[in-house]
Structure 1
């Protein structure tokens, strides 16, 4: 029903636009918030032609920080009828294109799992507090560092219907964490991603299967790490490379996944 309402609203807005009576337009707003003494600033996006409450989607950036790429993904989700919030995991203005700096920042977050999950949950709270959001219909997506972040949110049993990891690391949950997972999980993985070992993939899968978690793991042949980002090949790292086919196919897989989990 929720999916039907979103589609119907979008079609209605388009029809009104043709008649000169209304124009669908994605709106954006910066939102400042804090976690553990750090000031953060995220990017909210929504379509003002869609009325009433609708599903919300949290977007977690790559290890570069909250850059234009993550903001663009939030706006794409808003065009689809969702309310999207691209959170900030590092701190207001902390964005880089240098791998060493990105690795340092991501490592600082990952070394403390409670802080890692808490920082992500602070962004989720911002999304849940938006008046347009149906709090019972919320998901999270993440890229690279963000992919492993949304998995950590699932392990912590945050109030999410589902999470989607695009070319993210695959941390293995403990037995108790796996048993606590309620969210459905979609992992979109590059088959040629040299950063993720076969052993870590096997460990991840076995933990989820032992707990009967609802998950999908899709391999994209020929795709390396960062396959969704058109700028992936500009950072001087051989394993980072854009793959147009994998980008489009994984985005479609996410759309189908949302259609399923938000219809429940």
Structure 2
């Protein structure tokens, strides 16, 4: 897939402000406070690329202090690219990653379940795959102010709607690691053979949407495909890692995030 080398950067804000904010508080505390999350999200750069056949695609970019680093592409929940996801990107930049939070809903952010459901139903798989593939291609050679920032190591990370797309993105454009938070999983063994790196999944035992039978069927296919994966189950409900929701489970969210960062560190920094 051809992606223009040129990127259009909107607000150019330095990450120091967001880094200072996150550096003094736990990620969960920032995510749970709309004002703090908004301040952290404001430190990201708006990025736009052209996706052949689908027009422009937008994302929010957070850069680490290092001049060259592995990259993580974040995919939002059914709400859209909101301050919560951007704040996680800022946290990942602090941890030393080029973090790109992509937008699959053309700037729309829902505030009610009905509106969020409509966004998901209006999403075309072909367009989603094209956008994910284009951004991953861009991240392989990402340049900011003319200098390369990503070192070629890539991972995807998504929650709920974005969790399913984290897997789909890694099938469209194989990456070094894939993280799924309670997202829809599936695929035949033949389809899953396209995966390049290991997969880590976080699922909730009380989830009525992403059920244990769905995940079990997927892991069976992963085994048949000879793929590497690890699955963690939590005594929690769907969206347990979202501090702004009613199902938030702080201990499990903290445990899952620790496992996520350990997985990324091992996968992206082991040569």
Superposition TM-score tier, normalisation by shorter sequence = 0.7 to 0.9
**Alignment partner, residue 242 of structure 2:** 229
Distance (whole Å) between structure 2 residues aligned to residue 208 and residue 113 of structure 1: 22
- Conserved 8 A contact 1:57-1:140: yes
Distance (whole Å) between structure 1 residues aligned to residue 220 and residue 88 of structure 2: 31
Q: Which runs of 5+ in 2 are unaligned?
A: 1-39
SS at match of 1:140: strand
Task: Give the TM-score normalised by structure 1.
Answer: 0.79
- Conserved 8 A contact 1:57-1:83: yes
**Alignment partner, residue 20 of structure 1:** none
Question: Which 4+ runs in 1 deviate beyond 6 A?
Answer: none
Say which of 222, 227, 232 aligns to 1:208.
222
5 Å-filtered alignment, 1:243-258, equals: 243-258=249-264
SS at match of 2:230: strand
Distance (whole Å) between structure 2 residues aligned to residue 251 and residue 89 of structure 1: 23
**Alignment partner, residue 238 of structure 1:** none
Aligned residues: 225
Cα displacement (A) at 1:177? 1.0
Cα displacement (A) at 1:89? 0.5
SS at match of 1:102: helix
5 Å-filtered alignment, 1:106-117, equals: 106-109=120-123, 112-117=124-129
SS at match of 1:180: coil
Matched, 1:149 2:165: yes
Q: Which runs of 5+ in 1 are unaligned?
A: 1-24, 234-240
- Conserved 8 A contact 2:205-2:212: no
Residues 22-61 of structure 1, C-alpha deviation per residue, up to 9 Å, x if partnerless? Answer: xxx99521112243434332110013xx333110111100
Cα displacement (A) at 1:127? 2.8
**Alignment partner, residue 267 of structure 2:** 261
**Alignment partner, residue 127 of structure 1:** 139
CA RMSD of aligned residues (A): 2.0
SS at match of 2:179: strand
Worse-superposed segment, 197-206 or 145-154: 197-206
**Alignment partner, residue 85 of structure 1:** 100
**Alignment partner, residue 40 of structure 1:** 57
- Conserved 8 A contact 1:40-1:90: no
Distance (whole Å) between structure 1 residues aligned to residue 60 and residue 137 of structure 2: 13
